[in-house]
Structure 1
Amino acid sequence: MRQLFNFAPTYMPLNHGSFGTYPTAVLEYRQQLLRDWEARECIYAKWTYPKLLKESRALIAPLLGVDTDEIVLVPNATTGINTVLRNLVFEAGDVVLFPSTTYSANLKTIQSLEETTPVRGHQMSIVYPVEDDQVVELFRTNIEALVKDGKRVRVAIFDTISSRPGVRVPWERLVSLCRQLGVLSMVDAAHAVGHIDMTHTRVVKPDFLVSNCYKWLYVPRGCVVLYVPFANQHFIKTSLPTSNGYLDPKARKAMSSREYFVNLFAEVSTSDTTPFITIPAALQFRNNVCGGEAAIREYCYRLAFDGGNRVAEMLGTEVLENTQRTLRPRCMFANIRLPVTIVPAERGVQHPNDNAIITEDEVERVLAFIYTKLATELDTSLMVFAIAQSIWTRFSAQIYLEMSDFEWGARMLLNLCERIRAGEWKEEEDRVLDALA
């Protein structure tokens, strides 16, 4: 399968989840769209493109189990979440609730809102591995405590699958909890479409949801579904940025909220929106070449599960999982602990095992060392991050990978951990400092 994608011959693509990729067939289709657009730029923009955009929306709506006019396409999940949050009207005492595992741009968005509106953010600490019941209870107790303190939790943001670590989140239960407690649910489903079955979205009834098509659906970067059910479309008064679809409140009254919502996002400033209209080609590849959504999921779930176990075996460590075993099944990520132990900064003694030992204030520099060597020496990429006293890595399973690729990644990581144990990362820093002196 790898030959059907656009990878360099020496590149090992183990980190699909960060930016996604798409096959050559979709690349060629997009190039044809660009050629067609430039051939008759005005006619294409005003007549051809709207029809192709509607077709894309109609094709992807069934993957969420929703109506075509409940979804629009935006460039990225950050734009989608900003669009929702910046359309809401906040009052003094309003709170946006979010876990510590939320995507960094969501945190920055909330911090920005705090500068210009009365809303305040409230972060809950979640340290994996935790049980699903604990996650749900943490949301409940935080909401209830905030209400008791005189606050109103206006909206809660949470993932379907978190990024660091890459694990399943009980998002359906969190949506239900929010509905029970009168809180708007904003689901960051960046890792959902093309990764997990989302056809029950309408049944779950989130208030708002965004999902990247370019992460797992083989669509070029710059295409994200923003789902707003009909009942909530009155909240969305403008796109971001405000553009040609916007109408003032008086003019808006002459149009149904459904029609206004779709028109609002049909033409948002001038940019290259060809990724929006490559969805038909991506779905055709997934169905005709890969065997359809279910076949892709089953292959990748199995590779992530078995491959994660194999990497952990080779590293002599473990795969991240809770006692109820809900984090790993039906997920294309595998999070494996590296044989590196983090100790308090004042402690410089060796641990009585074979792990490399680093102190808390050395973590970021060691992570930078790993990232740099993966990219510059090994021509690959893996996400690495710290949880408590350990460093973990996240493998992404995909149809163009197989077990031997996971084993290759494990061997490379073992070598890097040996080099960390030998203190090479410190020598690297010293060489850089000497060069700058």
Structure 2
Amino acid sequence: MAATRELPLREQAKVDGGQAGPVKFGHGVRDEHFLFDPSFRNLNHGSFGTIPRAIQAKMREYQDFAEARPDPFIRYEYPRLLDESRAAVAELLSVPVDTCVFVPNASVGVNTVLRNLVWDEDARDEILYFSTIYGGCAKTIDSVVEDRRGAVASRCIDLSYPCEDDAVVAAFHAAVDASTHDGKRPRVCLFDVVSSLPGVRFPFEALTAACRERGLLSLVDGAQGIGMVDLAGLAAVDPDFFVSNCHKWLHVPRGCAVLYVPLRNQALIRTTFPTSHGFVPRAGGNRFNPLPPSSKSEFVNNFEFVGSIDSSPYLCVKDSIQWRREILGGEERIREELIAMAREGGRRAAEILGTTVMDNSSRTLTNCAMVNVGLPLALQPEEGGISGDLAGLPCFPKSDLLPVTFWILQKLMDDHNTFVALFVHGGRWWARISAQVYLELDDFEWAARVLKDLCERAAKGEYKNY
């Protein structure tokens, strides 16, 4: 195989009297490095992520190699390149390389763990999760419970934001106590690094410790994690299972997620989904494996080849980390600037809207690159009238929740060429806005003005024509 080309990096910007340094974040980065339609404002990086041109070029290079010499590349070169990316992501997480493999996305990782666990035949096992869980993961739990036909049940831990981290941990302990009081056996708890809706930093470190204290397995959904949150201490946090999308905040092509499983738990992950050549049946047998012999662990070998799919995004992980280091100034700078942008941008947006940012007194909820800004719209409660901060806001019946939401989203896309994640929490509509290296604070202000206009129009009943 021909040697891969160097990553196509631009010359670093000149700053401080001509000295080379990382680029200034903002629209200049967007225009030079990213692939956006010039008229589109990407305020929702948290859902799907995106990649710079340089990483797209590397992905296409790997795809070209695969098409030029399919067998030599897929059987021999691909495993070597994959190991380079595994080593790069392991270094970023400060964990052993043999604990890291790749899967297409965090949902696949969560499914892989929950569907590999063996549930006790006495039907007392429970899966614990929080009410702010990502919807796809909630349905995964529902599916596992249904598939196991009573062998395992689930228990939801209700959260109402804003709240302090200690309250989240206390709610977990209360749920474990309630489970055992009901004669159940809490086996595993699924929780986030940064929750999706609302987009808030979750105290996953403290929850992991609480799981260990109470004898539960910790399954950490870091779909919003690597590239946004400092995860260099993952080994010290020591979750039982951890998955994080690289294609969101690490600027890796879709879909790619790192699945971390410490050595002590790798025997629990018997198979990938779908099962492929790396599976080793306990019953023994010597089924033919057409792939070259490997000295890697059973766990790593299991995930190396999972059928004929395009795994070129996995190979780009090391390139994305290099690009972020050489162009953007590295992980620490990116984290600090994005958190600062989200906090200040959220403050300005809330000021324009006449509302507030979702945060607690210790400001831990906004210790990430997404911010939730209240909209001046309220949802009629089940009983009584609205009060407190919601008093005086236009109020809609629960039956209009989806019509109002989807009308605003449609107008954002059709009339303003943007998208902002909307949700209702605590009786109010909220907008989740993502900070990113290609945005500036005026993007937050522009979004707030657009949302304010749409909220006023919704209050006049325009959504009823949707």
Specify the TM-score bucket, using the shorter chain as the normaliser: over 0.9
- The CA distance in 2 between the partners of 1:175 and 1:252, in whole Å, is 38
- The CA distance in 2 between the partners of 1:191 and 1:326, in whole Å, is 15
Following TM superposition, by how much is the alpha carbon of 1:410 offset from its aligned partner in structure 2, in angstroms?
0.8
CA 1:123 to 1:269, structure 2 compared with 1: closer, same or farther past 3 Å? same
Q: Which residue of 2 aligns with 1:138?
A: 171
Could you tell me which of 96, 105, 110 is aligned with 1:67? 96
- The CA distance in 1 between the partners of 2:73 and 2:449, in whole Å, is 51
Query: 1:95 and 2:126 equivalent?
Result: yes
Q: Which residue of 1 aligns with 2:85?
A: 56
Cα deviation, 1:253-278, whole Å, max 9, x if unaligned, reads: 9x999710000001001101000001
Q: Which residue of 2 aligns with 1:341?
A: 378
- The CA distance in 2 between the partners of 1:70 and 1:96, in whole Å, is 24
Q: Partner letter of residue 262 of structure 2? A: P
Q: Which residue of 2 aligns with 1:434?
A: none
Query: 1:283 and 2:321 equivalent?
Result: yes
- The CA distance in 2 between the partners of 1:171 and 1:274, in whole Å, is 30
Q: Secondary structure at the match of 1:247?
A: coil
Q: Secondary structure at the match of 1:123?
A: strand
Q: Partner letter of residue 335 of structure 1? A: N
Following TM superposition, by how much is the alpha carbon of 1:424 offset from its aligned partner in structure 2, in angstroms?
0.8
Q: Partner letter of residue 16 of structure 1? A: H
- The CA distance in 2 between the partners of 1:349 and 1:242, in whole Å, is 52
Q: Partner letter of residue 311 of structure 2? A: T
Could you tell me which of 409, 415, 427 is aligned with 1:389? 427
- The CA distance in 1 between the partners of 2:234 and 2:421, in whole Å, is 29
CA 1:258 to 1:119, structure 2 compared with 1: closer, same or farther past 3 Å? farther
Q: Over aligned residues, Cα RMSD in angstroms?
A: 2.1
Q: Which residue of 1 aligns with 2:30?
A: 2
Following TM superposition, by how much is the alpha carbon of 1:352 offset from its aligned partner in structure 2, in angstroms?
10
TM-score relative to the length of structure 2: 0.88
What are the residue-to-residue correspondences of 1:15-54 with 2, within 5 Å?
15-54=44-83
Q: Which residue of 1 aligns with 2:113?
A: 84
Q: Which residue of 2 aligns with 1:432?
A: none
Q: Which residue of 1 aligns with 2:263?
A: 230
**Structure 2, unpaired ranges of 5+:** 1-28, 287-292
Q: Secondary structure at the match of 1:90?
A: coil
Following TM superposition, by how much is the alpha carbon of 1:353 offset from its aligned partner in structure 2, in angstroms?
6.6
Q: Which residue of 2 aligns with 1:433?
A: none
TM-score relative to the length of structure 1: 0.94
Q: Between 331-340 and 123-132, report the one with greater CA deviation.
A: 123-132
What are the residue-to-residue correspondences of 1:236-251 with 2, within 5 Å?
236-251=269-284
Cα deviation, 1:122-143, whole Å, max 9, x if unaligned, reads: 1111121111111101100111
Q: Which residue of 2 aligns with 1:262?
A: 300
- The CA distance in 1 between the partners of 2:119 and 2:295, in whole Å, is 21
CA 1:93 to 1:348, structure 2 compared with 1: closer, same or farther past 3 Å? closer
CA 1:345 to 1:66, structure 2 compared with 1: closer, same or farther past 3 Å? closer
What are the residue-to-residue correspondences of 1:89-168 with 2, within 5 Å?
89-91=118-120, 92-117=123-148, 118-168=151-201
- The CA distance in 1 between the partners of 2:152 and 2:198, in whole Å, is 28
Query: 1:416 and 2:432 equivalent?
Result: no
Following TM superposition, by how much is the alpha carbon of 1:354 offset from its aligned partner in structure 2, in angstroms?
6.1
Cα deviation, 1:174-208, whole Å, max 9, x if unaligned, reads: 10011011100000011110001001110011000
What are the residue-to-residue correspondences of 1:394-413 with 2, within 5 Å?
394-413=432-451
Q: Secondary structure at the match of 2:316?
A: helix
CA 1:257 to 1:318, structure 2 compared with 1: closer, same or farther past 3 Å? farther
CA 1:349 to 1:237, structure 2 compared with 1: closer, same or farther past 3 Å? closer
More helix by percentage: 1
Following TM superposition, by how much is the alpha carbon of 1:355 offset from its aligned partner in structure 2, in angstroms?
3.1
- The CA distance in 2 between the partners of 1:352 and 1:60, in whole Å, is 45
Aligned length: 426
Q: Secondary structure at the match of 1:120?
A: strand
Contact 2:294–2:301 under 8 Å retained in 1: no
Q: Which residue of 1 aligns with 2:18?
A: none
What are the residue-to-residue correspondences of 1:371-386 with 2, within 5 Å?
371-386=409-424
CA 1:348 to 1:185, structure 2 compared with 1: closer, same or farther past 3 Å? closer
- The CA distance in 1 between the partners of 2:303 and 2:412, in whole Å, is 40
CA 1:34 to 1:321, structure 2 compared with 1: closer, same or farther past 3 Å? same
CA 1:70 to 1:355, structure 2 compared with 1: closer, same or farther past 3 Å? same
What are the residue-to-residue correspondences of 1:175-190 with 2, within 5 Å?
175-190=208-223
Cα deviation, 1:385-411, whole Å, max 9, x if unaligned, reads: 001221000010001001111111111
- The CA distance in 2 between the partners of 1:131 and 1:10, in whole Å, is 39
Q: Partner letter of residue 249 of structure 1? A: R
CA 1:349 to 1:116, structure 2 compared with 1: closer, same or farther past 3 Å? closer
Identity %: 44
Q: Secondary structure at the match of 1:122?
A: strand
Q: Partner letter of residue 396 of structure 1? A: S
